[in-house]
Amino acid sequence: MSNTPYHAGRHFLQIPGPTPVPSRIEQAMIRPIMDHRSAEFAEFSSRLLQSLKGVFKTENPVIMFPASGTGAWEAALTNTLSPGDKIVMFETGQFSMLWQVMAKRLGLDVDYIESDWRIGVDAQAIARRIEADKAHEIKAVAVVHNETATGCCSPVDEVRKALDASGHPALLMVDTISSLGCVDYRHDEWGVDVTVCGSQKGLMLPPGLSFTAVSDKALEASKSAKLPRGFFSWEDMLGPNANGFYPYTPAITLMYGLEEAIKMLNEEGLENVFARHAKLARGTRAAVAAWGLENQCSDARYYSNAVTSIRMPEGHSADRFRKIVLENFNMSLGAGLTKVADKVFRIGHLGDTNELTIIGALGGVEMGLELAGVPHNKGGVQAAMAEFAKSIGVEPAKAA
Ligand SMILES: *Cc1c(COP(=O)(O)O)cnc(C)c1O
């Protein structure tokens, strides 16, 4: 592949997606391709589409396109809205930024509420827009649940309450690309109209599948929405899906993987999966605090359980630090994106991850800080270990 010599042990892929694919899923994908028009396939696919609903906590269809998550962004917008429609979006970071750029390109009138990339969605700011819109010109509100660039997670239920409180009919769309399968998420209960997701983060799969979970209201809107849609048409998909089929060749191999991923999430239990992510995130934040470094997320109520974004002390390069970690310890850390390029690095703690993976990753970070000459205090790994011990009810031993 490259000229770099073999590096013993596995690569630590600690970026917030794509995440490491567990071998159970790899094995599940090594199966002969089926005839996608056969009865056997239809049976497999119908079961899969049914089990997928549980992950989104919905009774409604989840529509799957062979695309990265970005495809699902496009499907959400083009299936429900018309040219010139007003949409409110909130600036949480890189991913909200890219979604609103797409919305503008598609000809929507975007009201992008600016923020500083250090908090999640301010539901009050959205509530003010909604309340002022007596004529109901706003057709949709779209937010990113977990902003992967900054490690800020947003209160989707509060955005729902803001819409309900003013009886506003706007559709609610939520990007859960880096939160589904990591953080509690309830499509039906929170009254979300379109939930957008991708395969390569909390779902532990390779990249290549995108999902939109839809409400009845979103499906109703799709009947009169005028934005052009070709490949990403819900209607084209839902017809054949009802019998387990697809309008074109589905990503069969990834679907084998998805079946296994859902099985694994259900074996562990979704609530346990969320608790594990919360624990790993607490351990990571304990290390960051012990190092004396600053979390990019400036308000604890928005802390993400999937990724932690860490600010480099002034005058130090996050990219140089990441390079040193990669070269010495064979670990990939997430880069700072655009506005925070070279200013932050990110530790992904999502997907197929446990305490020992995180202790290893934090050890690599702590050694890297030393090698890069970044001012910090020792004891980050120790702090994470203490946090993990606490969560299984072990009190630290008293020094003799
Ligand atoms: C990764 C990510 C995306 C982009 O998904 P792709 O699969 O790269 O197209 C969008 N939103 C969020 C929150 C993400 O984490």
- Per-residue pLDDT reduced to its tens digit, 6-26: 889 999 999 999 999 999 999
- Helices then strands, counting H and E runs in the chain, come out as 13, 14
- Please tell me if the CB atom of residue 234 comes closer than 6 angstroms to any atom of ligand 1: no
Q: Is the pLDDT of residue 4 over 90?
A: no
Question: What mean pLDDT comes out for the span 114-143?
Answer: 98
Placement of tokens 């064979």 in the chain: 330
Q: Is the pLDDT of residue 151 over 90?
A: yes
- 230 alpha carbon to ligand 1 midpoint, in Å? 21
- The pLDDT tens digits for 93-113 are 999 999 999 999 999 999 999
Strand, coil or helix: what is 96? helix
Q: Which of 19, 73, 148, 209 to mutate to test the pocket of ligand 1 (most atoms within 8 A of CB)?
A: 148
- Please tell me if the CB atom of residue 284 comes closer than 6 angstroms to any atom of ligand 1: no
- Please tell me if the CB atom of residue 198 comes closer than 6 angstroms to any atom of ligand 1: yes
Q: Is the pLDDT of residue 5 over 90?
A: no
Please report the atom of ligand 1 found closest to the CA of residue 210: 7
Q: Which of 15, 19, 64, 95 to mutate to test the pocket of ligand 1 (most atoms within 8 A of CB)?
A: 95
CA–chain centroid gap for 382, Å, is: 28
Placement of tokens 């890219």 in the chain: 98
Residue 396's pLDDT band, with cuts at 50, 70 and 90, is low
- Please tell me if the CB atom of residue 102 comes closer than 6 angstroms to any atom of ligand 1: no
Q: What percent of the chain has pLDDT over 90?
A: 96
Strand, coil or helix: what is 9? coil
Per DSSP, what are the bridge partners of residue 212?
A: 63, 196
- Please tell me if the CB atom of residue 175 comes closer than 6 angstroms to any atom of ligand 1: yes
Q: Is the peptide bond before 18 cis (omega within 30 degrees of 0)?
A: yes
Report the pLDDT value the prediction gives residue 344, as an integer from 0 to 100: 98
- Please tell me if the CB atom of residue 61 comes closer than 6 angstroms to any atom of ligand 1: no
Closest C-alpha to 306, from 16, 13, 56: 16
> Ligand 1 atom 2: the closest Cα is on which residue?
177
Contacts of 83 (CB under 8 A, 6+ apart): 107, 108, 226, 227
- Please tell me if the CB atom of residue 94 comes closer than 6 angstroms to any atom of ligand 1: no
Contacts of 269 (CB under 8 A, 6+ apart): none
Residue 2's pLDDT band, with cuts at 50, 70 and 90, is low
- 173 alpha carbon to ligand 1 midpoint, in Å? 15
- The pLDDT tens digits for 236-267 are 999 999 999 999 999 999 999 999 999 999 99
- The pLDDT tens digits for 355-395 are 999 999 999 999 999 999 999 999 999 999 999 999 888 77
Please report the atom of ligand 1 found closest to the CA of residue 148: 15
Residues in the chain: 400
Closest C-alpha to 257, from 61, 36, 68, 21: 21
Q: Is this structure's pTM higher than 0.85?
A: yes
- Please tell me if the CB atom of residue 95 comes closer than 6 angstroms to any atom of ligand 1: yes
